[in-house]
Homo-oligomer: A and B are copies of this chain.
Amino acid sequence: MTDIRSQALACRDAAHAVAALSSAAKAQLLNDMAAQLLADQTAILAANAQDLEAAREAGIGPAMLDRLLLNPARIAGIADALREVAALPDPVGQLTHRDVRPNGIVVERVRVPLGVIAMIYEARPNVTADAAALCIKAGNAVILRGGKEAIASNQAIAASLHTAMAAHGVPAAALTIVSDLRREAMLELLQLTDIVDLAIPRGGEGLIRFVAEHARVPVIKHYKGVCHLFVDAAADQGKALDLLIDGKCSRPSACNALETLLVHRDIAPAFLPQAAAALRQRGVELRGDAAACALVPGMAPATEADWDAEYLELILAVRIVDDLDAAIAHIQRHTSDHTEVIATRNAANAESFVAALRSAVVMVNASSRFSDGGQLGLGAEIGISTTRLHSYGPMGLEALTVERFVVRGEGQVRV
């Protein structure tokens, strides 16, 4: 048997032990994991220094070095995140439906853990602890396949978490760090349909496409966020401008940042020049259609590719549309199914916009930057799905469980 298969089988066997933990036991375990990480800080920092040195020798750039870096403040942040997960409500055992059938059987639907979750990610060692905490909180075992740049850090974090798990009688295999980091081993992990219930890739679009294209196990992922803001004729212009600036400028590298602005032609002459000035003041480059360029001197003309671009930087595509229907048609054509926003004081237009679009998150008069598990009240976020299956939009603990049926009777039979 290959290493990866035997590691995964051990993880699956350990899943029963995690699923059997009570809510109180899981909360205590996660708090103990947080304390243990702080207690093991010296060993974790030493392992991280080893990763950093190897990365520097390999000529890795400053952005990835920073993602890889741990220090006491970052370890404290990881421990805090574990304690926050510990304090969240336990989704396992939640009763979602209850029905008494005419024959008297009581049919309940109750959340159970998914089983074994494989996380595929890149160089951030904090994901190791975060993802483990969320999976365990939802009663799952987890297989973690991080980037090879972070392997010493990841193993040191896992060793620390294993210490806390052992004190709770949870086998170390319930939190498995993949030891074979060759690409062939990752491919094999993604074929283990009899073991892995769900794979979640986190990282750049290249990694996500690789996982989605090669996996036979179910994958939940999002490729990109081409988020739209439509400023309706009936918008409050001051609020629309706030939404625009927050959406584009507060964190342009986030997938919930705005990439395209659609403006109703009736409000465009009043709104767009002012909005363009405010954006330019903040360093935003604008690329518009002909009508937009006519209203804003010096705006660069947009090409067809701009309507599908996820810039992830201070660039914004701008288009004037004839009406609400034209805005909806544009979004339907170019949506990434992530997040769309309408700014309007017209309630009927707002509801038409919500009804016509099937993106994961649709907002009325609220910033696209709220499209985030924490902001939407999920408590934490394991990932985002733009696939309309199982989970759609930001995924919290509930997305790491599934509803099943529990039926109680008094000997009823069908025939």
Contact = CB atoms under 8 A, between A and B. Distances in A.
Interface of A: 16, 19-20, 99, 101, 105, 107, 112-115, 193, 197-198, 212-213, 216, 218, 236, 238-239, 242-243, 245-246, 250, 332, 343, 350, 354-356, 358-367, 369-371, 375-377, 387-394, 402-415
B415 A246 contact: yes
A370 B112 contact: no
A389 B388 CA distance: 12
A78 to B, nearest CB: 23
B107 A405 contact: no
A291 B379 CA distance: 52
B415 A250 contact: yes
B197 A243 contact: no
Given A332-B16, A389-B390, A411-B243, A406 B369 contact: no
Contact of A236 (B371, B376, B377, B411): B411
A113 B408 contact: no
Chain A binding surface SS class? mixed
Given A358-B404, A369-B414, A392-B404, 7 more contacts: A101-B376, A198-B388, A238-B411, A246-B414, A363-B409, A364-B407, A367-B409
Contacts of A20: 355-356
B115 A413 contact: no
Contacts of A412: 365-367, 370
A355 B236 CA distance: 53
5 contacts: A107-B376, A115-B388, A246-B414, A371-B407, A392-B404
Nearest to A414: B369
A367 B414 contact: yes
Nearest to A407: B363
Contacts of A332: 16
Nearest to A332: B16
Nearest to A110: B354
A378 to B, nearest CB: 9
Nearest to A361: B405
**A-B pairs with the 10 shortest C-beta distances?**
A366-B409, A239-B411, A246-B413, A369-B414, A390-B390, A250-B415, A363-B407, A361-B405, A367-B413, A364-B408
Contacts of A112: 358, 388, 392
